Amino acid sequence: MTTVFCIGIAVQDHIYRIERLPLGAGKSRASDFAVVGGGLAANAAVAIARLGAQVLFATRLGDDQIGTSILDELISEGLDVTPSVRIKGKRSPISAVLIDETGERGLVNFADRDLPDCLEALPVSLPANVDAVLGDSRWPEGSIRMLGAARAAGKPAILDVDRAEGPLDRLVAASTHTAYAAKAAREHAGTQDLAEAILILQRRFSDTRILATDGADGSYFVEAGRVHHQPALAVDVVDTNGAGDVWHGAFALRLAENAPLIDAIRFATVAAALKCTRFGGRRGTPARADVEARLKDWT
C-alpha cells in the first residue's frame, strides 16, 4: 500500500459561516459553526488518507487540551501520528476561520512562537516503506530533514509553500517538487507577474520542479522552459478553506504512486474543487472514487 510521510502544522480550526467578508469592528452573527482540524500538512495528510493511502504524520503541538483534540481527530482519520511531538508549556495552534456566502475565507491563526526543532523525533533517513514525503514551511527544520531524506532515497519530496517565510531557499532546495500559493511565489521571486515568478524560481532551483496554485485560477507549472496553465474545475463554491492543502495532498499521493506530473496535477485539481462544494473545511475532502469519477467526465 502506498505510504506518504507528511510533516508540518496541525491546527484546530473554528469555522464560522458569516454573511460577508471583510469583518470590521462591531458584532456579527454566524449562521453556522464547526470545530474541525486544519493546518496545511494535516489537511493534506487527511486528504491522502481519504484518497486511499497510508500516512505517517509528524507535527509539533503543545501539551494542552487543543493539542489532544487535534491528534485524536487525526487518529480517527486513520493517520499514524507516532512521529508527532507534544512540547511542554507550549500552546497548540488554533485558527478562527470566517467563511462568507461566496465561499471566500478570512483566517486568523495563533501559533506559539519559538518552538524547539525537535529533530530527535524524526528518523535520520527515509523509512523503507515510505513512497513520498510532503512537508510545509511551519516546521522548517523538520521538513528539510524529511524532504532531504526522500530526495536522497530517490522518492518524491513535495513542499507546500503558502508564505515566503523561514529558511525558504533551503526548503525548496530539499524538495523535488515545490508547489507555492500564488502570493508566496510572487514574494519569493520578487515580482508581481506570476508566470515570470515561476520562471525565475524554476531557474533559481533548477533541481526542483516549481508549481504554483492560484485558487479558482487553477495552477501553473514549467514544462520545457515555458509556463503551462491548468485551469481549475468549475464547481459551486461553498467553502474554500483547506482547498490548497487538499490539492497538495492529492498531488503528493499521485506522485507517490508514480503518476506522470500532469496526471497528478489534474487529480489534485479535481480533489481540491470537490472539497470546495461542502461547508466545514477539510470535512469536505472527497473520497477517491468521487475524484476518479469526476476526472473521467472532465476533458
Residues that bind a second copy (CB under 8 A): 14, 16, 18, 21-30, 32-33, 91, 94, 96, 98, 104-111, 162-163, 183
Cβ proximity to a second copy, 99 vs 126, nearer residue: 99
Smallest gap from Cβ 262 to a second copy, in A, equals 29
Contact between 178 and 172 under an 8 Å Cβ cutoff? The reply is yes
Smallest gap from Cβ 158 to a second copy, in A, equals 20
Cβ proximity to a second copy, 52 vs 106, nearer residue: 106
Phi, psi of 208 (to 5 degrees): -125, 135
Cβ proximity to a second copy, 17 vs 275, nearer residue: 17
Smallest gap from Cβ 130 to a second copy, in A, equals 29
Smallest gap from Cβ 23 to a second copy, in A, equals 5
Look-up: residue for cell 467578508?
A: 21
Cβ proximity to a second copy, 26 vs 89, nearer residue: 26
Look-up: residue for cell 494542552?
A: 64
Smallest gap from Cβ 98 to a second copy, in A, equals 6
Smallest gap from Cβ 55 to a second copy, in A, equals 24
3-state secondary structure 134-161: EEECCCHHHHHHHHHHHHHCCCCEEEEE
Q: By C-alpha distance, which of 192, 233, 193, 228 is closest to 210?
A: 228
Cβ proximity to a second copy, 27 vs 296, nearer residue: 27
With H, G, I as helix, E, B as strand and everything else as coil, classify residue 229: strand
Peptide bond into 156 cis (omega under 30): no
Q: Return d(Cα 96, Cα 108) in angstroms, integer.
A: 5
Q: Return d(Cα 235, Cα 232) in angstroms, integer.
A: 9
Cβ proximity to a second copy, 121 vs 216, nearer residue: 216
**Helix boundaries (H) for 153-193:** 168-174, 182-189
Question: 291 Cβ partners below 8 Å, 6+ apart?
Answer: 51, 250, 267, 270, 271, 274
